[in-house]
Structure 1
Amino acid sequence: IGIAKQRFNQTGGAHLYQNMYGCELDDEDNSTDGHYQFGYDGEDFIAFDLKTLTWVAPVPQAFPTKRRWDENRADNQYRRNYFTKECVDWLKKYLTYGKSTLQRTERPRVSLLQRSPSSPVVCHATGFYPDRVVVFWRRDGQELHEQVDPGEVLPNHDGTFQVSVDLNLKAVPQEDWGRYECVVQLKGIEDISTPLDPALIRTNWGARVAFTIPIIIGLLVLLPAAAAAVVGVLLYKKRKPSDKRHKPVASSDTSSENTEGQNPAPEAQPLTTG
């Protein structure tokens, strides 16, 4: 780190020095590859090229290191042998030990999703393993390269993977949707084709519409009941004064027998005078 700080004219602060190496094995054609590289403060600093047995310096500060390491041909030859032979042999052993897990095949679950009527239709495949999957949209049996927006393969929490590919349908009338289908290809299983059928699309806006239907029905049921209750209250209030007018008029004796000295109630007073 001290040498790197000098070359980048740095005098203090926290800095990060990284080293990454490994090998790869293609189980289809049995080809191999390897990588051996260094980084500084999150940026590429220098990397080894297995084919040319030389070092690649993407920044000027790494040029002195490149010149010195290129001259050490014996070490460079050893590194190529290690990454193309010894490392690959270990990788094959690990694959044998973990064959039931590392070389398994899990079938993807495919769904068609749409956020709103104007949004793209998303073909979403998830739960598959390994991650070497091909997902694309097809129209009339031909793969589409326009109208589509492929996403990256992402890991799931359970060790499987997921990926999405968007299809823009703004210029496509719905009667032509039947010409489209989403195709998912994974080694070891048959192709999974999902037609672009509105009945198969899961939507957020569709769920909201479905949720409002019972609410509307409930309101339609409650409104007549509420109206009937209001009419009943009005009829009750209308009948109540007429009932009071038919009560017997209290006599003066009855009025004088009010033990609490209160005036007679209004309904006990004569309706007319004279």
Structure 2
Amino acid sequence: MKGFVKLLMVCAILPICLAEQSDLQVDRHSLFYVYTALSKAVSAPGVFEFTAMGLLDDRKIDYYNSEKKVKIPEQKWMKERLPADYWEKGTQSRKSKEQWFKVNVNILMERMRQNNSDVHVLMWRHGCVADKMADGSFKFVRGVDAYSYDSDDFLSFDDASMQWVAPVDEAIPTKKKWDGVPILNQYTKGYLEKECVDWLKTFSEYGETDIKDKANDSPPDVHLFAKEYKSPDTLNLNCMATRFYPKDIRVTILKAKKSVKEGNMNDVMPNGDGTYQVKIMIQAQRSEMNDYECVVEHRTLPNKQIVKVWTKDGVLCPDNSDNNGSFMSGAAVGVLVTLILMIPLGICGFFAYRKGLFGYLKVQNGLH
């Protein structure tokens, strides 16, 4: 069961792991889905053998599980703007994927020489990232089509070469089989670069008003902390920005005015109230503490950036002070707990409505 717990922690930050660095002036959006299948039922409330969830800019937009077997909207605007047949066809698609995953979890267990004494998890992440341009169009940045098994990478699609990448020997038979079906790889590339971006644009436009109502532009609160690391002479210097929106931000730690550590969008986490938080850290000698400063750049700031310096003369600042705003705010803790509980429910949920060709090809071309 240890591997299962590890998987929950990894997936709790999955939506953030799917983000990437962008220019602060770029309005970047993402649409991701992930299917999650367990090798057997788990005796725990709210945990299902199969789940799927859609995520638009890290917000849940639809959901399916193996108990109710119905794809349902999770946002009011999804329910209002999309016709009934969207949900009917989406339900049928996810039912077929549920069966596909059930078969292929067993195939992988056999390939890995595993028995059914433990819980094994097969997950499929799929989606795209795109930038919204000044004219309202969306420009493709990157796509993801990747499988993991028991929290380890198993198989992923390389969009540039239109080939599958097998990081482990057990995935090589599947890679060879799927690469042997050119139409499958062509469709995968087409979906990631075109169809997924089209749905991302549509969903973003549908939910734009709702999202803005929930999270208005907000400048970051910036806090610096320092703690001893292994010895009194060595410190962990932490720079934390929180309660900001939109998500795009740049946080840089400087030493003597030169950059020594820069965060990226992979470090950004949701607070749960529509705002975000990020924290980066470096190790430094106490005697050099006065040489360090943190620069936070965000488009809501009056001068587009704010600069803060650590407490002078080696005076430590504990990073567990509620008065200064801890990294894991109450809202964030609540979100993390919820996400961990929801992982088997599908925090990595997958699939906006698609036509039947790709689903058919996937069923015909299993992992065996």
Q: Aligned to 2:279, which of 152, 164, 170?
A: 164
CA distance in 2, matches of 1:6, 1:123: 47
Q: Aligned to 2:241, which of 113, 120, 125?
A: 125
2:194 paired with 1:85: yes
1:169-180 equivalent positions in 2, closer than 5 A: 170-172=286-288, 177=290
**1:6 alignment partner in structure 2:** 110
**1:94 alignment partner in structure 2:** 203
- Retained in 1: the 8 A contact 2:128–2:140? no
2:253 paired with 1:137: yes
Shift of 1:122: 3.7
For structure 1, the 5+ residue unaligned runs are 208-274
**1:46 alignment partner in structure 2:** 155
SS at match of 1:64: helix
**1:263 alignment partner in structure 2:** none
1:147-162 equivalent positions in 2, closer than 5 A: 152-162=267-277
- Retained in 2: the 8 A contact 1:182–1:193? yes
CA distance in 2, matches of 1:87, 1:153: 23
Q: Aligned to 1:194, which of 308, 314, 318?
A: 308
Bigger Cα Rg: 1
2:297 paired with 1:185: yes
For 2:109, give the aligned amino acid: K
- Retained in 1: the 8 A contact 2:251–2:262? no
Shift of 1:155: 2.9
CA distance in 1, matches of 2:182, 2:262: 46
SS at match of 2:189: helix
SS at match of 1:38: strand
Shift of 1:64: 1.5
**2:72 alignment partner in structure 1:** none
**2:169 alignment partner in structure 1:** 60
- Retained in 2: the 8 A contact 1:135–1:185? yes
Percent of counterpart pairs with the same letter?
Answer: 33
- CA gap 1:164/1:58 in 2 versus in 1, 3 angstroms: closer
For structure 2, the 5+ residue unaligned runs are 1-104, 322-368
**1:17 alignment partner in structure 2:** 122
Shift of 1:191: 1.0
- CA gap 1:136/1:39 in 2 versus in 1, 3 angstroms: closer
For 2:305, give the aligned amino acid: D
- Retained in 1: the 8 A contact 2:155–2:164? yes
For 2:272, give the aligned amino acid: H
1:106-117 equivalent positions in 2, closer than 5 A: 106-114=218-226
Give the TM-score normalised by the residue count of structure 2: 0.46
- CA gap 1:184/1:65 in 2 versus in 1, 3 angstroms: same
For 1:3, give the aligned amino acid: I
CA RMSD of aligned residues (A): 3.5
- CA gap 1:83/1:181 in 2 versus in 1, 3 angstroms: same
CA distance in 2, matches of 1:59, 1:4: 12
Q: Identify the structure with the greater strand proportion.
A: 2
More divergent stretch after superposition (12-21 vs 160-169):
160-169
Q: 1:5-46 deviations in whole A, cap 9, x for unaligned? A: 222223433322222211111336933321112222222222
Give the TM-score normalised by the residue count of structure 1: 0.59
